[in-house]
A and B are shown apart, each in its own frame.
Chain A
Amino acid sequence: EAQVTQNPRYLITVTGKKLTVTCSQNMNHEYMSWYRQDPGLGLRQIYYSMNVEVTDKGDVPEGYKVSRKEKRNFPLILESPSPNQTSLYFCASSLALGKQFFGPGTRLTVL
């Protein structure tokens, strides 16, 4: 089944404790992206990647890192999480920049 998977789906952590949210797709998509969704603000792009080893900042990259060492994986790294990074995170992938296929979401709470 074609899909985008994210792990974990839910995470409660504390300020400053490094964490990684994984994203994997099995559709051989070149383009992958991370978004965060906050009430009243809609979906905002954090980082995107057009292919392996090619990443670029979206609208809200501060406090996040990404890597794209393999085509199928695009992990989101929070080196030192802070409470303002409490949010719902979505990973998405597509061929070039066509229709985005979204993962199930990761709800992160930083205390």
Chain B
Amino acid sequence: ILNVEQSPQSLHVQEGDSTNFTCSFPSSNFYALHWYRWETAKSPEALFVMTLNGDEKKKGRISATLNTKEGYSYLYIKGSQPEDSATYLCAPNYGGSQGNLIFGKGTKLSVKP
């Protein structure tokens, strides 16, 4: 079973702080990396799908980078807001469009007003 590590497991920040967390994954046979945002009592919601080494994606105050050679991705949140409080999941895919996603356990972010 492939090991996908997310760190830290949880994070508490003040409103306005910028923060980042990491997803580490085996780099062999990598195809794509997904990031999802999961609010309590809701369903996971897609943020990004990234495939290329050096890729950078941005959605509002959230951005992500990808290093496929060393097997990691960073998710950044600029100026955190209480509504950013959620669990952030990463999931690499190794089988291309014929494969499956392996989810990490997530980083739980709490933003205090």
Please give the residue numbers on chain A whose beta carbons come within 8 Å of chain B beta carbons, in ascending order: 31, 33, 35, 40-45, 48, 50, 56, 58-59, 90, 92, 96-105
Contact = CB atoms under 8 A, between A and B. Distances in A.
Contacts, number: 57
30 contacts: A33-B100, A33-B101, A40-B105, A41-B105, A42-B89, A42-B103, A42-B104, A42-B105, A42-B106, A43-B44, A43-B89, A43-B91, A48-B100, A56-B100, A59-B100, A59-B102, A90-B44, A96-B97, A97-B32, A97-B95, A97-B96, A97-B99, A97-B100, A99-B34, A100-B34, A100-B36, A100-B46, A100-B101, A102-B44, A104-B43
Interface of B: 1, 32, 34, 36, 43-46, 49, 89, 91, 93, 95-106
B100 A45 contact: yes
Given A43-B44, A43-B89, A90-B44, A99 B49 contact: yes
